[in-house]
Amino acid sequence: MNHSLLTPWTSVSNLVGSLQVGDLIEIRKYANDGTPINNHWAVYTGLSNGHHTVGVFFNQNNGNNNQNLLKAIFSPDSNRDRTKASICYCYLFHVCGNDQCRINNSMDRHCKPLPSGVIYKRVIKRVGDCGYNTLFKNSEHFAKYARYNVYISEHANIGKIIEIGMNTLLVSKNLLKASTTGALGYVSLKVYDKVKKR
C-alpha cells in the first residue's frame, strides 16, 4: 500500500486508478437539496467481473444511509430503520454515484494495516451482517475494523459528545456545565481511541 494515506476529494472515475485492495474509501454524502450530510465509508475489494467492488453498509430501502448526524442521534425512528442495513458486496460506482470520494487510510500513521488479502477476507466474511447503529456500529466502524481490527469512528465520537452535552444541559440547565462535560467527554474518547490503536 504505497500511495498517499489521504487523497484529495474527487470523482469515483478519477479515484479508481489509485485504489488498491484494502483501501478505505470515504464518500461525501449530500441530501437531495444539496445539503452536506455525514460521510460514508467503504472498503475497496478489487475487480470482480470487470467491476470495481467494495464492502459497505447498505440499506436496501433507500440505497444508502443518508442522514445528518443530529437527526440520526435524536430521531426515534432513525436507528430502527437503519438496523435493516447490512454489510454488502457492491459495485463502487453504484455506492459513490456522483458524490465526491477519496482514499482515507490516514489511520496508517497510528495503526499497521492488515495485509490486503486479510482485509478482503474480513469484508467477505461480514457480508450479510446487520445491525447498523449511528453511534456504535456505522460504516466507519466497519471499514476501520476491516483494515485495522479496531472499531473507531470519529463521526460517532462527535455524535456521542453532542448527546452527552445535550443531556447534561437538559438535566443541569447550565450551559457551562454542559460545555465542560462535552469537552471532557471528547478528550476522554480521544484518549480511549488512542489506546485502542495500540
Q: What does the DSSP 8-state code read for residue 7?
A: P
**Domains in the chain: boundaries:** 12-152, 153-198
pLDDT of res. 35: 81
pLDDT of res. 71: 44
pLDDT of res. 75: 43
Averaged pLDDT, groups of 10, the chain, 198 residues long: 78 96 93 81 94 85 43 43 73 93 92 94 88 72 90 60 63 76 67 59
Cross-strand pairs, 86: 58, 130
pLDDT of res. 131: 76
CATH number of 12-152: 3.90.1720.10
CA distance 147 to 197: 12
pLDDT of res. 110: 83
**Where do we find the cell 442495513?**
85
Q: Do 38 and 82 meet the contact criterion of CB atoms below 8 Å apart?
A: no
CA distances from 4 to 40, 102, 105, 151 (A): 20, 11, 8, 22
